[in-house]
Chain A
Amino acid sequence: MFGDYSLGDLGSIFVMQGFAGLILFSVYVLMALGLAIIFGQMGVINMAHGEFMILGAYVTWMTSNFFQTYLPSLFSGYFFLAMILAFVASGALGMLVEWVLIRHLYKRPLDTLLATWGLSLMLQQAYRSVFGAREVGVELPQWMLGSLHVSDSIEVPINGVFVMCLTVLITVCVAYVMYKSRWGRQVRAVVQNRIMAGAVGINTEKVDRYTFGLGCGIAGVAGSAFTMIGSTGPTSGQLYIVDTFLVVVFGGAASLLGTIASAFSISQTQSTLEFFMSGSMAKVLTLLAVVGILMLRPQGLFALKVRK
């Protein structure tokens, strides 16, 4: 298939294709980070993860409308505020959900799956009732549209760069919070031994609530960022859920590094395959490969070897 093209063309296509893979990678990491915390650290299967993302997207949409109407002069910077608001809104909803629902189910992880599925149905309908069944279009500031012109055949999408930077930033923050801060140590202590952690004076209930809130908040930021590349509608969240879970599980549930590695391998596989075959078949083959590898190596890519 390459016979017809010049070497220069091919070179730039490989660069572009690599970049497409990197964008996909960033998207996967953003999707999966929140879930890696919730599922990986707390063992809660949050099927409403996509709906928390969409909440972030709707918050972004509302912020953009607000700025357009009342503060048009500041419109170019609204996105940063929107992301913070998305984090707060999704995080707060997450903490509420933890308090009402999740905390009763820590001993029954499979039941969290059912309960959060119910939650996701209710959230979808709530979005539909509040925002309407149609998709909403989030208007972006001008500087985020378009691309950087590198050469005649290489163009780098600005929103792609933005998503990548955001991914790096959030990953670093999460890594710091989970592995360096006192609070992160508490989270990990609770994960490893809830009773013992409680006994040494850690307020496990509070840690749980904030951990869940943090995971949901990151989902909100991801949703906010995805308004740049995807659609925002009541059911858009469902599009992400299988991919997200596979990324987390494939990486090895309790490992941040694993999540990143798995997002990287899945995204590169998929974007490479997409170049050689139709998108549908690429997706099928990627998923099959992931499932196949998980069958051979159920603990995922990175897993702590511990004596149980």
Chain B
Amino acid sequence: MTDNRFFNRSELIGILVLAVFLVVVLPLTLDVFRLNLVAKYLTYAFVALGLVICWGYGGILSLGQGVFFGLGGYCMAMFLKLEASSVENTKIQSTPGIPDFMDWNQITSLPLLWQPFHSLTFTILAIILVPGIFALIIGTAMFKRRVGGTYFAIITQAVAAILTILIVGQQGYTGGINGMTDLRTLKGWDIRPDHAKIVLYFFEVGLLLACIMIAQFVRHSKLGRILVAMREKEDRVRFSGYSVANFKIFAFCIAAVFAAIGGAMFALNVGFMSPSFVGIVPSIEMVIYTAVGGRLSILGAVYGTLLVNFAKTSLSESFPELWLFGLGGLFITVVLAFPNGLAGIWGDYVQPRIDRLISSRKPKPEGWTDNSVADGAPAE
């Protein structure tokens, strides 16, 4: 039996290939600048990963993942900003020791909400819990009342709009539309130089692989199968004795937490956080990363994110005025022609050829790749 609670054999190969690609191939072939770009892209991969569980498996399309990305990112950024706003660094201000944007907005002491973010432990907990609890509240309110599908998508979109206006409007506390810029050190360790970027990159890849394992675990658990079942026949699941709402809330929360981790890593890697990630446009773009990778494919989410972002960067470098056509076209093509994205193309065209190549050399029993045979039930 090649299977366990995390992956079957072919998935293991896939994860290893991805790990080698991220840990060995990219760092060897890219300079630090490009590697840091990859690190930035990978922060979106966390969001895409969450969307695979929430949207791909659970069928819940959230157009507000930017909210959670933003909450995670802002929690991290608040900690970093406080560290960067030491009395020494800010002596030019009328109130030294508070973040610069507060000073510009006539705030003379650190707001209560900010106080606990002096502690890294609290910050890390907040990165997980704030978005998690927020998702729990939204999810409970919506799913217990059976709001689903398009309605859920539109309401999450409105939540993203509300949060953006709030962040922009409360600029004394949030940095407004500028966001929190000029983040410098983490516990005294400068996050800006190249060697720090490399360390952060590997740390992030490690976190991403950990999240992939969590996603794999969820997928291979009965909960993963219930999510699929729910997407198809919600009533049947309900009348098999499950509280459908609870499962949806779980999927939504885990997606939110993944997004928040991505946001926190973004703040670390890029050195700032701004409301432009919270809004509707980035949230929808994050959905498209998932769609391009294949909404049912955990690894596809990572590849999809990388592919779209590489395309975006290189298109906008060579044809700055045309990349929207490319991006728009990509959306349409994927939805129309490849609803299962890269993973679908792989599964439909590439995998069968590889299988044929292998099986022509050494025949395998039917269905050995099928994860559902895990129980060792007699095959036909």
Contacts and interface: CB of A to CB of B under 8 A. Distances in A.
A284 interface: yes
A110 B153 contact: yes
Dominant secondary structure at the A interface? helix
Nearest to A283: B165
B176 to A, nearest CB: 11
A287 interface: yes
Dominant secondary structure at the B interface? helix
Interface in A94-108: 101, 104-105, 108
Interface of A: 39, 43, 45, 47, 101, 104-105, 108-111, 113-115, 117-122, 124-126, 128-129, 238, 241-242, 245-246, 249, 278, 280-281, 283-284, 287-288, 290-291, 294-296, 298
B332 A115 contact: yes
Contact of B336 (A39, A105, A284, A294): A105
A129 B325 CA distance: 11
Interface residues of B, number: 42
B280 A118 contact: no
Contacts of B324: 121-122, 124-125
Given A110-B149, A121-B325, A245-B157, 5 more contacts: A111-B335, A114-B287, A114-B334, A118-B332, A249-B155
Contacts of A113: 61, 63, 150, 153
Contact of A114 (B157, B169, B281, B288): B288
B283 to A, nearest CB: 11
Contact of B147 (A105, A109, A278, A298): A298
B159 A291 contact: yes
A295 to B, nearest CB: 4
A120 B328 CA distance: 7
A298 B151 contact: yes
A111 B339 contact: yes
Contacts of B336: 101, 104-105, 115
Contact of B141 (A101, A108, A295): A295
Contact of B145 (A108, A125, A288, A296): A296
A238 B328 CA distance: 15
Contact of B61 (A43, A110, A281, A288): A110
Contacts of A128: 321
B5 interface: no
Contact of A115 (B141, B158, B331): B331
Contacts of B153: 45, 110, 113
Given A101-B332, A105-B335, A280-B169, A121 B150 contact: no
Contacts of B168: 280
Interface in B139-161: 141-142, 145-147, 149-151, 153-155, 157-159, 161
